[in-house]
């Protein structure tokens, strides 16, 4: 008769260890905070691209408010900044281990 096979539970390397974050008590990893700052800078660039095009004389209409920079480029840059912020907030980036591949015993 065949012997029953016993499965070992929790034998994975590092099964009982907790990962140490870069700063205890911080809700995000370091890369998340870097991406938050990058997203804010990209959105600021988008708002700078939107600015301008005004006229000194209110009686004169200025056509420069309808150029490609303000209608196409600036909104795309703003949306990219918002997407970077979304990634920084919602994605959990895995820390890179310096040990390499864990070996099972």
Residue 7 lies in a domain: no
Q: Give me the number of domains the chain comprises.
A: 1
pLDDT in tens, the chain (105 residues): 666 555 555 555 555 555 555 667 778 888 999 999 999 999 999 999 999 877 778 888 888 888 999 999 999 999 999 999 999 999 887 766 655 555 554
CA angle, residues 84, 86, 88, in degrees to nearest 5: 70
Alpha helix segments (H runs only) across the chain: 30-50, 68, 74-90
* Host domain of residue 36: 30-90
Residue 35 lies in a domain: yes
Residue 10 lies in a domain: no
Residue 36 lies in a domain: yes
Residue 22 lies in a domain: no
Residue 97: its pLDDT value, please?
62
Residue 20: its pLDDT value, please?
53
Cα–Cα distance, 14 to 47 (Å, whole number): 47
Structure tokens at 4: 């029953």
Cα–Cα distance, 39 to 84 (Å, whole number): 5
Residue 103 lies in a domain: no
């Amino acid at each position: 008769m065949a012997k029953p096979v016993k499965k070992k539970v929790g034998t994975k390397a590092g099964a009982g260890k907790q990962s140490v974050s870069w700063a205890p008590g911080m809700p995000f990893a370091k890369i998340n905070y870097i991406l938050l700052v990058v997203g804010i800078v990209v959105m600021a660039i988008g708002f700078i691209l939107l600015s301008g095009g005004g006229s000194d004389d209110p009686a004169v209409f200025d056509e420069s408010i309808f150029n490609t920079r303000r209608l196409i480029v600036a909104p795309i840059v703003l949306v990219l900044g918002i997407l970077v912020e979304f990634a920084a907030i919602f994605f959990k980036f895995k820390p890179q281990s310096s040990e390499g591949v864990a070996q099972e015993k």
